[in-house]
């Protein structure tokens, strides 16, 4: 279920100009390139390149963060997309002691419109603030989330037994967007067979009345039949999601359990136990600890990605880039 764009969704999508306004992050028409005459039908004229505004050196009044630190952060966040161009425009002191304002001009290379991203960096240099979002700020802004997930994302999984590279999906079985995202997840499994794929329940039970029960049934299917049975169960629930209603929900879930080769009566009894409810709640707590605020959300080695916010080709680029950065960091640490 989509709630809103955050700065992180801005940092992971290639549709910069459109999301700047949608995210609530300030957008500025810092520079406009005069429109070129319409080419003739047979013309092969290249798309007009954006021209970033010149940077004024006097706009760097804060000593922290350094320009190099901002560059490292932007490289980690945006480096996967060769179509993106940007320039740090300012690092300014503010009236709040130790709080700095960072302004970055940004555009897509095949789009003439230029926008600006603005955020504040906290005095300790560890976080940034943009709108109502507080996010990690460092050369590896996803390290903390990666460590948490490697330790606590213990949901059903497929792929590699190794947790070296891990994609963790937080999903709600009653969420239509989660159903739509499963084709993307299948493509990722095919393209990254050496990665570990983990499913974490994040039922939005305030708006999806059958979601928590569906998650509880899934937990019991795993206990009875293992990971393979769980994913058969999930696929069947998504296929029949329209029937996941207060009137027909239990029948729909029982049919999904049967499709997974398990006993519906035993699974129903298991789902009603405090232990199962606690297991589902633990998965919810994990998502809340990571500030998950929409489903589905995919974590790529700790990097949150709102699935569906970008074309698959861009998502694949992002996964490859994140994996390569993490591999390089691991090698450098040895």
Q: 60-85 as b/e, with b when 16 or more CB fall inside 10 Å?
A: bebeebeeebbebbbebbbebbeebb
Among all chains, which residue has been given the structure tokens 């606690």?
278
pLDDT attached to residue 310: 87
pLDDT at residue 307, rounded to an integer: 84
| pLDDT for residue 321 | 97
φ and ψ of 280, to 5 deg = -65, -40
Low-confidence ranges of the chain (pLDDT < 50): 1-43
The reported pTM is 0.84
CATH topology (fold) of 144-325 = Glutaredoxin (3.40.30)
Whole-angstrom Cα distance, residue 11 to residue 79? 10
The pLDDT value recorded for residue 159 is 97
Contacts of 74 (CB under 8 A, 6+ apart): 86, 88, 104
pLDDT of residue 112: 76
Q: Is 35 helix (H, G, I), strand (E, B) or coil?
A: coil
| DSSP one-letter string for 77-101 | HHTT-TTEEEEEEEEEE-SSTT-EE
User: Which ranges in the chain are annotated with CATH 3.40.30.10?
Assistant: 144-325
Q: How far apart are CA 148 and CA 260, in angstroms?
A: 30
């Amino acid at each position: 279920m989509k709630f809103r764009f955050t700065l992180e969704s801005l940092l992971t999508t290639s549709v910069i100009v459109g999301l700047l306004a949608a995210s609530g992050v300030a957008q500025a028409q810092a520079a406009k390139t005069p429109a070129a005459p319409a080419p003739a039908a047979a013309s092969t004229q290249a798309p007009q390149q954006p021209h970033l505004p010149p940077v004024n050196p006097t706009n760097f009044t804060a000593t922290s963060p350094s320009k190099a630190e901002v560059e490292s952060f932007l490289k980690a966040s945006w480096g996967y997309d060769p179509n993106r161009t940007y320039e740090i425009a300012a690092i300014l002191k503010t009236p709040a002691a130790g709080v700095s304002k960072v302004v970055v001009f940004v555009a897509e290379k095949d789009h003439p419109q230029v926008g600006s991203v603005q955020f504040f960096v906290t005095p300790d240099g560890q976080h940034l603030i943009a709108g109502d979002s507080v996010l990690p700020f460092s050369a590896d802004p996803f390290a903390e989330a990666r460590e948490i997930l490697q330790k606590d994302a213990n949901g059903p999984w497929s792929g590699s037994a190794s947790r070296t590279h891990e994609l963790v999906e937080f999903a709600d079985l009653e969420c239509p967007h989660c159903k739509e995202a499963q084709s993307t997840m299948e493509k990722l499994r095919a393209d990254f067979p050496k990665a570990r794929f983990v499913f974490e329940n994040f039922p939005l039970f305030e708006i999806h009345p059958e979601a928590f029960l569906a998650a509880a049934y899934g937990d019991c299917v795993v206990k009875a039949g293992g990971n393979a049975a769980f994913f058969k169960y999930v696929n069947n629930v998504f296929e029949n999601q329209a029937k996941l209603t207060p009137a027909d929900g239990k029948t729909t879930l029982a049919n999904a359990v049967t499709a997974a080769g398990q006993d519906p009566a035993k699974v129903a009894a298991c789902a009603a136990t405090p232990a199962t409810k606690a297991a589902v709640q633990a998965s919810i707590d994990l998502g809340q600890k990571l500030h998950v605020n929409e489903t589905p959300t995919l974590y790529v080695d700790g990097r949150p990605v709102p699935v569906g916010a970008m074309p698959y080709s861009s998502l694949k680029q992002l996964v490859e880039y994140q994996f390569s950065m993490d591999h390089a960091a691991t090698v450098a640490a040895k």
